[in-house]
A and B are shown apart, each in its own frame.
Chain A
Amino acid sequence: MTAAPDVSAAPGQVPVAHGLAAPPAPWRLLLRKPTFLIGALILLFWIACAIFGRAIAPHDPLAQDLLATNSPPSGAHPFGVDSIGRDVLSRVIVGARDILLIAPLATLLGTVLGTVLGLAMGYFGGIVDTLVGRVVEAVLALPVVIVAFLFIVAVGPSPLTLIVVVGFIFTPLIARTVRTAVLVEGQQDYLASARLLGERPGYIMFAEILPNVFPVIVVEFTVRLGYAIFAVATLSFLGFGVQQPTPDWGGDIAANYVLLGAGYWWETLFAALAIASLVMALNLVTDAIEQVISS
């Protein structure tokens, strides 16, 4: 086989060989990371609780067994019973529902708004950047909890109010991160290429730049989600979030923590552990995603 290359090719013909091998898909790399797997497992557990809570829970989380008030963990009530006779385990399981609905939606709202603002600031620059930037700085300078209080008091507490309030609080933070990422992309020649094709700003921002800053946005979303869980739990704890008697981790801690001194630790501890495990799981997942994206 004296395979001499085809010398009689067309003028200037260069046999074009295969492209380079495709890099492995990001999700494949994720699945190889133990931190991601552990985090995702805990997360999935809480998502299952949020969806099927009522079916999984051994007792009705609202039912009061007044004869068993403040009874410690036992076979019938593995996490014990609270001060008004409700099963703590059932309340922890069902309590995942509202927080896992409110926190992601609030984060999503903040991410969408923040992304749009960040893209506009980074792409247009100049006066748009200055004006929006000042507003963003002003919002960042306000004491967050007080503003949230005022808003919730004015509108009245409800899951929707929580979503909007937390979403708005996150918007400027996310906008700032996205703006920085857009400014880095702004150095690239593909934006000049797009302008030379007469593309409109909307197309350039959303079809050209957005896909390239998407990894940054994904990481920002997951980081913010952890904070959102804290924020929602805190507001509920302070009485401005999910209202009793609806099972909720923050609300349940608020209702029972005064009894810690009396030794009724189970009424507070398990709800607190639930919050901690959820935030930790999210951080594990975020870390893994960040590593995969930056590698």
Chain B
Amino acid sequence: MTDQGAAEESPHGVPAGPGGPSLQKAPRGRPAEPAEPAPRGFPGGRPPGPAEPTLDVANLDVTYRVRGQNRPAIRNVSFQIGNRESYGLVGESGSGKSTVALALTRYLPRNGLVTSGSVSIAGRDVLALSGSALRALRARTVSMVYQEPGRALNPSIRAGRQIAEVFEIAGLDRQTSTDRAEDMLRKVQIPDPGQVMNRYPHQLSGGMAQRVIIAMALAAEPSLLILDEPTTALDATVEAEVLDLVAGLRADMATSVLFISHNLAVIAKMCDRVGVLYAGELVEEGPASVVFDQPSHPYTVGLLRCIPRRGQRKDHGRLDAIPGFQPAPGQDITGCIYADRCALVIDECRTSPPPPFGIGPDHSARCFRHEEAEGLPRSTPADASLPAPPNADDPIVTLRGLSTTYKNAGSELKALSGIDLTIMRGETLGLVGESGSGKTTLARALLGLVVPDPGSVLEFDGSPLPADLRRRPRQLLRAVQIVFQNPDSALNRRHSVRRLISRPLSRLAGLSGSRLAERLADLVRSVRLEQRHLSLRPGQLSGGLKQRVAIARAFGGGPRLVVCDEPTSALDVSVQAAILNLLADLQAKEQVTYLFISHDLGVVRYLSDRIAVLYLGRLMEVGPAETVFAGPHHPYTEALLSAVPSLDGQRRERIRLAGEIPSAATPPSGCVFHTRCPRKLSTGVCETTEPPLAEVEPGHLMSCHIPVEELRRLQETPR
């Protein structure tokens, strides 16, 4: 509350200077600059004038009480969101993003407590509201949209009824409410809203459900809309549509937005201003374009370096991972919260917490050395050994006519349909596609976990690969291994790390005694675990360490092909960088081939030599990574590429896919992509004939009726 005066003096920015009661010392080094008055041409486009902010959070402290002990989760966080402004809160898991959102609407769990600070929404002090006033605030002034659309809707009430309820609470009669609900559905661009009104939530796809929720959230025309990871559970093309929708609605409605995400690119695309949260503290804040282009806190700098950007590839060097771990909640910290992981740390950082230093208009960072932050020394050397370039025509795996059908209670679902694909020795083949495209089924068929349809041909190293795992001799078992997406599920939580890693050594490599111990130590070192981790159980390790154990397990038998099924998508950005580096290093050392499955195109591009694009169980495009990214692309690849928000300034011309991904149980006739293809030919051939996967350039295959030269011309001409 001591901050109130400062906040009113500089309505356009965070109060620069000593932030609150916990910061008694005046900042040394460069003195805090007062924020400049009314920045000219500010990109956020906030309305001028000292209008009252829609959301004003001042010196917020939140503590969770766990087993009788207080664990601070949010420390001294202050920020404001102006009228019609969109503010992004970005941070890794455990940074307290969601706690902030819960505290704003007083939805903290029982053991969560706001210990100091104030929150005001549209001028009302939220923390002082009585029960009925708080309900009214939640009903009319603030709305929230959460990550899991499936869990936010009542499964036993029709979608239309759920939206109409919002209007009924506002006092409208039933018929008017229903009409207004249908209007709302039209507004969120749901095709055939009348029909969707009558559907139950389980009859909606993820993207559709999230739109219904957005419709509900906006029905009351709230002054503040809180979006907590609203698109994280959605596919890239659906995410792009939902983000476009939110951006479009924001232009029409007088709503301020608090957008919470771990995805920096999404925040960069959606927000005017951004706050970077680390271990419960707001370490940097400013206009999104400024924070992401000229970051001034070493954490922000490090985070941005963890992401493969601007077409960075493994042969350009390793990613720069952030060393160490986020401090555990409740840990006593006297100085800067980031000091332990910071390459720029000086004595002062350990003794006194840095106040927010004003850097530019509306831009501040809690770092004594913010001026040098951009020159942060690398913690990972850029140079690294490279694998021998893969031989272009030496296949280790050949798949011909691979089809897989799941039978369930009489109905059939064709997950893969006639896949012809080769994986070359020593290469990384990136497999890209949205959910339901058959990526995981392809991996499982290769591993022998799913038995493909008769007639499918699988060859490994020139000889047939038995389709059923149980028929594979030990040599073939050890040759093909996998790193699963979720290490919590892939590692038996009742086994020690030692047992987990030793088992493939004894089962597959046939080692025992001292030779096993030697190889174990070697393996543990090469995945950068430590000896003392061996006696722990997976539950006692962090996500990144668990994934290292899973990688060690996959490499234990000396595999020749490792399937990586989204190995980093459950991990934070900074951990992801370290795991990607590890995979690249291991490949160089062990000469192993990767089949790398991911929905993150940046990650796929960083690691892959060649890329295969799947849609509804069919290959759309296969080719060298650079060719696939450079174009000409298959129209689906083109849509995927343009759907992904990017941190790099250059925005490509967007092509948007209409409608939903069709069900694999009833695939469209002809080219399976024709229902959503923006470049569909008018001759009708796309609807009737399935195009063959044909070579359009040396090594570049595509399944499309449009001639490649025509695609090149279309994609080069701006639409």
Contacts and interface: CB of A to CB of B under 8 A. Distances in A.
Nearest to A209: B492
**Most chain A CB within a 10 A radius of its CB, from B328, B379, B533:** B379
Interface stretch (B144-152, B192-200, B480-488, B704-712): B480-488
Contacts of A11: 318, 380-381, 383-385, 581, 585
A19 B533 contact: yes
A76 interface: no
Interface in B334-369: 341-347, 350
B652 interface: no
B329 to A, nearest CB: 11
B656 interface: no
A74 B25 CA distance: 80
Contact of B378 (A7, A17, A214): A7
B507 A16 contact: no
A21 to B, nearest CB: 8
A1 B530 contact: no
Interface stretch (A98-106, A149-157, A184-192, A262-270): A184-192
Nearest to B444: A192
Contacts of A190: 489-492
A195 to B, nearest CB: 6
A67 interface: no
Given A1-B350, A7-B343, A195-B469, A12 B321 contact: yes
Contacts of A187: 489
Contacts of B310: none
Interface string B410-427: 000000000000000000
Interface in A6-26: 7, 9, 11-17, 19-23
B529 interface: yes
Contacts of B439: none
B345 A4 contact: yes
Interface in A242-283: none
A168 B328 CA distance: 50
A163 B553 CA distance: 45
A198 B468 CA distance: 12
A22 B383 CA distance: 37
Interface string B495-531: 1000000011001100000000000000000001110
Nearest to A23: B539
A211 interface: yes
A2 B489 CA distance: 41
A22 B328 CA distance: 13
B449 interface: yes
A211 B100 CA distance: 39
B345 A3 contact: yes
B627 to A, nearest CB: 28
Contacts of B318: 11-12
The DSSP consensus for interface residues of chain A is loop
Nearest to B537: A22
A197 B507 contact: yes
A199 interface: yes
B447 A16 contact: no
Contacts of B321: 12, 14
A195 B321 CA distance: 34
B347 A212 contact: no
A22 B540 contact: yes
Nearest to B485: A189
A290 interface: no
Interface in A166-190: 187-190
A294 interface: no
Interface residues of A, number: 35
A19 B447 contact: no
A7 to B, nearest CB: 5
Interface in B534-556: 536, 539-542, 545, 553
Contacts of B344: 4
A13 B342 CA distance: 15
Contact of A14 (B323, B346, B449): B323
A208 interface: yes
A197 B477 contact: yes
Nearest to B321: A14
Contacts of A198: 472, 474, 477, 507-508
A267 to B, nearest CB: 50
Interface string B456-496: 00000000000001001010010011101010011111110
Contact of B323 (A2, A15, A23, A199): A15
A202 to B, nearest CB: 14
Contacts of B493: 212
Contacts of A5: 323-324, 341-343, 345, 379
Nearest to A201: B470
Contacts of B480: 196
A7 B489 contact: no
Nearest to A211: B494
**Most chain B CB within a 10 A radius of its CB, from A196, A197, A198:** A196
**Most chain A CB within a 10 A radius of its CB, from B325, B350, B477:** B325
B545 A19 contact: yes
B489 A189 contact: yes
B484 A189 contact: yes
B578 interface: yes
B491 A20 contact: no
Given A4-B343, A23-B539, A197-B477, A12 B489 contact: no
B37 interface: no
A16 B385 contact: no
Contacts of A2: 345-347
B249 interface: no
B477 A196 contact: yes
Contacts of B528: 12-14, 16
A112 B701 CA distance: 58
A12 B578 contact: yes
Contacts of B378: 7
Contact of B449 (A12, A22, A195): A195
Contacts of A189: 484, 486, 489-490
B139 interface: no
A54 to B, nearest CB: 43
Interface in B91-129: none
Nearest to B529: A16
B347 A1 contact: yes
Given A16-B529, A16-B530, A19-B541, A208 B492 contact: yes
A212 B324 CA distance: 31
Given A4-B343, A193-B490, A196-B447, A15 B324 contact: yes
B39 interface: no
Contact of A196 (B343, B482, B533): B482
Interface string B313-326: 00000100101110
A14 B380 CA distance: 8
B204 interface: no
A12 B582 contact: yes
Contact of A19 (B343, B384, B540, B553): B540
**Most chain B CB within a 10 A radius of its CB, from A4, A21, A22, A198:** A198
Given A13-B528, A188-B489, A189-B490, A7 B379 contact: yes
Contact of A17 (B324, B448, B469, B486): B324
Nearest to A208: B492
A183 to B, nearest CB: 15
A14 B484 contact: no
Interface in B394-409: none
27 contacts: A1-B347, A2-B345, A4-B343, A4-B377, A5-B342, A7-B377, A7-B379, A9-B380, A9-B381, A11-B380, A11-B383, A12-B380, A12-B384, A14-B323, A14-B379, A14-B380, A16-B528, A192-B449, A192-B482, A193-B484, A193-B491, A194-B492, A195-B469, A196-B448, A196-B449, A196-B477, A196-B482
Closest 10 CB pairs of A and B: A211-B494, A12-B581, A189-B490, A189-B489, A189-B484, A190-B492, A14-B578, A19-B540, A197-B507, A17-B325
Given A19-B536, A21-B540, 7 more contacts: A1-B347, A5-B345, A7-B343, A12-B321, A12-B380, A12-B582, A212-B493
